[in-house]
Amino acid sequence: MLQILASALNAFPVACFLINSEHRVIHWNMACEVLTGVSARVIVGTKDQGKAFYACDRMVMADLVLDGAASNQVDALYHGKFRPSSTVPGTYEAEDFFPNFGKEGRWLYFTAARICDVHGTPIGAIETLQDVTARQQAEAALHLSNERFKALSWIDDLTQLYNSRRFHEVLDNEISRAARYAHPLSLMVFDIDYFKQINDTHGHQEGDRVLRLIAEQLRQWQREADHLFRFGGDEFAVILPETNAAAAHSAATRLVEAWRQFNGNGAGAATHGSTLSVGVTQLKADDTAETLVRRADQAAYEAKRLGRDRVIGA
Catalytic residues: 234
Residue 122, classified by CB atoms within 10 Å of its CB into exposed (0-12), middle (13-18) or buried (19+), is: middle
Query: How many helices (H) and strands (E) in the chain?
Result: 12, 11
Cα–Cα distance, 39 to 240 (Å, whole number): 62
Cα–Cα distance, 8 to 18 (Å, whole number): 13
b/e per residue 73-104 (b: at least 16 CB within 10 A): ebeebbeeebeeeeeeebbbbbbbebeebeee
Cα–Cα distance, 216 to 195 (Å, whole number): 17
Backbone φ and ψ for 289, nearest 5 degrees, come out as -60, -40
